[in-house]
Amino acid sequence: MNTYLSRRQALGAVAALAGYAAAADAGRFHLARFSADVTPPLGHPLLAGATITPPARRIDDRLQAIGFVLLTPAKPIVVASVDWCEIRNDAYDQWRQVLGEAAGTSADRVLVTSIHQHDAPLPDLEAQRILEAHKATGKIFDLDFHERAVQGVARAVREALKAPAPVSHLGLGQARIDKIASNRRYLGPDGKPRHDRGSASGGDPYKAQQPDGTIDPWLKTLSFWNGDQALCALSSYAVHPMSYWGTGWVTSDFPGLARRMRQAEDPKVLQIYASGASGNVTAGKYNDGNHANRDVLTRRLHQALAETWRATRRVPLESVHFRAAPLRLEPRESPGFTVADLQKNLSHPDPRKQCLAAMGLSWRKRADRGHVLDVPCIDFGPAQVVLVPGESYVEFQLLAQKLRPDSFVMVLGYGECAPGYIPIERAWEENDGNLRDWCWVAPGAEKAMTQALRTVLQPR
């Protein structure tokens, strides 16, 4: 991992920021928009090699990292949304550090969110090094490709900063979406909770007939404007972003396809999409896994994106404040998750078990040293953008909105993804099956998450 800018990169960053400095007197806020291709090569592992998903064997559509740099009287703020499944541990650190250096800001002011498509890469650099050191057959990520991808996004950031545009207004819009999201949890015929309604129902009519459950039905779009010209639209909706997966066919799935449709309709406005806190929310009620449903879900999401735009109201951008709350999540110590158990599984004959063990050990190395995550918030006054880690359950998104009921609160999920699922306590009590392997945090995370959200969303 490169921890410092090269001389040429440093000079490039200075030159890029000079474009902003020259225009600083024109207004208090400026926006630089960027995008870069982050499509993996054929043969690259998808979903960290940790499920039945085969390596990439065809490219259905290109993956992108899309975002903006908001230049303020204080240090710049970066937001980047990536068409990858997750970004974990030291890989996440590298994204924040490298993009922060490119934008002339500190890593803590860089918000990186993964959209969480499953037929997509999932980097954890230390986990990959652990596998290589143990000569395991499992493979999580190609380290050279990761470096190329991150540096490519950094180049796009530096290029964008050569010509930032003034920002005078925010746009706030939302639309209700029907027939996409449903909670994994539903009641079985015996009246007992089940948690197995995944991205596709598999054609089970009972699952499709049950209520949506706890979801956030609102798609939100926050936009930046220079007078009457829209510059950028950031949209967020809480649902797992898969129609079907496990094919090895690399895709941005229905959120990426809907985003592209909106981009084609208005090329001057950069479209950014993020998945909200949706660890326990999928399309399973409305999706049986038939490949034709990808187009159905794409059209429904695209229609909602267009509706948020029609519903957008503009307000003057008068202030931008950044703050972050510390978040300590205790590592899981139940059987199968102790350091000894994880190390033992590095020699398991199943490569999937090896990859899960390596990711668990990568997290434990940090957590056991007292590692603290953060929950960052960009506060615009009438609106707040909050980034939560991992596969946070949707209840945390609903809590964030409840904490600021008179404001436009947008929650981005899948920040630092090392913890995996971050459930509410009820999920443990009901023996939520999703917590069997893709959750590296101990019970008690709900209290810590609640405190972090309360801290970061306190009105100034």
- What residue spans define the domains of the chain? 7-326+369-456
Q: What's the pLDDT score for residue 261?
A: 98
Confidence of residue 6 (pLDDT cuts 50, 70, 90): low
* Residue 15 reports pLDDT greater than 80: no
pLDDT 10s digits, 123-138: 999 999 999 999 999 9
pLDDT 10s digits, 436-455: 999 999 999 999 999 999 99
Q: What's the pLDDT score for residue 99?
A: 98
CA proximity to 273, closest of 410, 432, 429: 410
pLDDT 10s digits, 201-222: 888 999 999 999 999 999 999 9
DSSP secondary structure string for all residues of 117-165 = -SSS----HHHHHHHHHTT-S-----HHHHHHHHHHHHHHHHHHTTS-E
CA proximity to 283, closest of 295, 297, 273: 297
The owner of tokens 């506060």 is 379
Confidence of residue 3 (pLDDT cuts 50, 70, 90): very low
Report field, pTM of the whole predicted structure over 0.75: yes
* Residue 300 reports pLDDT greater than 50: yes
